[in-house]
Structures are given as structure tokens and as C-alpha cells.
Amino acid sequence: MAQMLYQGHGSYRFVLDDGTVVYVDPFAGGGYDLPADLILVTHEHFDHNQVKKMPHAKGCDIFRAADLHPSKKSYLTIESHGVRVTAVQACNKNHPVDKCVGMVLELDGVKFYASGDTSTTDDMRSGKLAGFAIDYAVYPGDGFYNMGIEEASECAKLVGARHSIPVHLVPVDDPNDASKLFSREKAEAFTGPGRIILAPGETLELGKQ
């Protein structure tokens, strides 16, 4: 089963059973020592797109929002290093719908919703995301650049993942200071189904819960 390391903010890393290493929205925390086989970037804000933080394995693939969402109505699915990635909507007033994506990852038999920076989307309201039967999902809740915790909790109910994880809980303006990007109080206020709270640096073995 894949192991998730929550690096902090909107950044996390997966290590699959076969040793494949996947980074999502690299920026915060540690754990960038393992060479990347696959790097996923939901949008191009500095706190999500630091793709040079880690060494790259031979044949490393990098997929950005523009690769998976090349036109306004086009959301693509790609496969790389045994991981299937399907782009879905991500947007709010700070994140244009044509520049950002969420991603549904299928890895080691688990479906993981990497929401990116977003608020409530049509893909949530319509039941499209619920139709994926997602196992784990993350939701931003800083209440400044993204929705707040109450809306994030409602989004989690719409998506209906087996487990929901609050992330991106504190706004960041300084690219050199990611040391204060976790709020236990906000995390505890999140009420998504199957809530799991991860502090930066903690790991989760997907499929054990």
C-alpha cells in the first residue's frame, strides 16, 4: 500500500509498494530527499510548484495544470509510472478555473483526491467526484486564498470520500517561511467524513483505515 508523507501546507509525497515516488504540489516542509518519478502540480502559484526541491529519477515525469487542462472544457487523464491521474475542476476567486486543476489519483489500488487550491466546484455539486468512489481526499481551508473550514467540510460531504484530510490551513505570503503553516485548531474544526488530521511530517499508510 502507498505511504503518504504530509510535508505541510498543500505539499505531500507518496511512496508506492514498488518504490515509485510521487510528489504533489512541492513547496513546504522536508522529505524531498527521495528522487521523484512523478511530480504533479495543480497550479503555478509559488507555494505549489517548486519542482526542483527534490532530485529527479531517470525518466521523471512532471505534469502541470496546463498539461491536464489544456483548454477551457478539456480535462484529461494520463498514466505515468503506474499512477493514473484524472484532472477535475479546481477554482475560486483567487484561482481561475482555466489555470488550475484538482486531480484524482489511482495508485496501489487506492483513489486519492488531490483538490489543489479551490472552493466548491461544479464537479462537487454535480456528483461527478462522488462517482469516483474516492478513498482519501484533501481539502484546503485557509479561509483567505481558499474556502474556509466550514465550506471545506461541506465540500467533503459532497465528495463523500471514505477519509477526508484538511490541509493548506494558513495563508502563506513569504516563500521563504513555511514554518507556521499548520493550525491544529482549524484542523479540529473540520468535519468532513472519516476525518484524518495530519500534522506536517506525519505519515499515513493508505488503505489501513
Domains in the chain (CATH in brackets) are 3-197 (3.60.15.10)
pLDDT in tens, 11-39: 999 999 999 999 999 999 999 999 999 99
Under-70 pLDDT residues of the chain: 173-179, 208-209
pLDDT at 63: 98
Handedness of CA 110, 78, 113, 4 (dihedral sign): positive
Say what the pLDDT of residue 196 is: 98
The whole-model pTM stands at 0.96
For CA atoms 195, 9, 38, 65, the dihedral sign is positive
pLDDT at 1: 85
109-144 burial code (b ≥16 CB/10 A, e <16): ebbbbbbbbbbbbebbeeeebeebebbbbbbbbbbe
**For residue 186, what are the contacts with CB-CB under 8 A and spacing of at least 6?**
141, 149, 166, 169, 170
pLDDT score, position 176 = 62
Task: Give the CA distances from residue 111 to residues 1, 54, 125, 138, 208, in Å, rounded to whole numbers and listed in that order.
Answer: 12, 25, 19, 12, 13
